Amino acid sequence: MEKIDENKFVDLVDKHQNLVHKICKLYTNSIAEHKDLFQEITIQLWKAYPKFRGDSKFSTWMYRVGINTAITIYRKSKRRIRSYNFDDVSYKIPEDNPYNDQEDKQLEAIYEAVKALNDIEKAIVFLYLEDKSYREISETIGLTEVNARVKMNRIKNKLKKQLNP
């Protein structure tokens, strides 16, 4: 059995942690929930890391694990996120508090509209806003490329109606 390179894992998570923070912001409403979800995603990444073969970029794989973890946790509303203490990994919530009162009202309205979407739609929007191609979105979410395009067009229309009633 091959030994897992913990340092490499920690470096990769540290390098790409902003994408996890973006997922957390999309699927949570408070700093406490954000921290809990970040920790749970990191745990799931660690558990799945031995199976990462490098067929895709680490960040693409990380998106998939992160989004699937967020969707799974928030679909099971009775389930509480387990708390683990990963002392070796530095969880850095960005200095600019994602939940401050000074956030631009338009941006806040957009976040609220996106949060009102279903879990798959949120994931598609998130990946789209991260400039992922429809091919990458389809691979990450598990849809066909055509289906990802159709869903994104429907989501855009839905968001337009929500933001401009």
Do 94 and 35 share a domain, yes or no? yes
Q: What angle do CA 125, 132, 15 make, to 5 degrees?
A: 105
Q: What is the DSSP string of 96-158?
A: S-TT-TTS-HHHHHHHHHHHTS-HHHHHHHHHHHTT--HHHHHHHHT--HHHHHHHHHHHHHH
CATH code for the domain in which residue 26 is found: 1.10.1740.10
Number of domains within the chain: 2
Give the residue from 45, 73, 100 where a domain finishes: 100
Do 87 and 17 share a domain, yes or no? yes
Chain segment 77-109, per-residue pLDDT in tens: 434 444 444 444 445 545 555 554 545 677 777
Do 96 and 108 share a domain, yes or no? no
pLDDT value for 76: 65
CATH code for the domain in which residue 111 is found: 1.10.10.10
Do 66 and 132 share a domain, yes or no? no
pLDDT value for 83: 44
Do 34 and 112 share a domain, yes or no? no
Do 45 and 124 share a domain, yes or no? no
Chain segment 39-55, per-residue pLDDT in tens: 999 999 999 988 888 77
Question: Is 70 exceeded by the pLDDT of residue 1?
Answer: no
Contact of 70 with 24, CB cutoff 8 Å: yes
Chain segment 100-143, per-residue pLDDT in tens: 454 567 777 777 888 888 888 888 888 888 888 898 888 888 88
- By residue range, what is the domain housing residue 4? 1-100
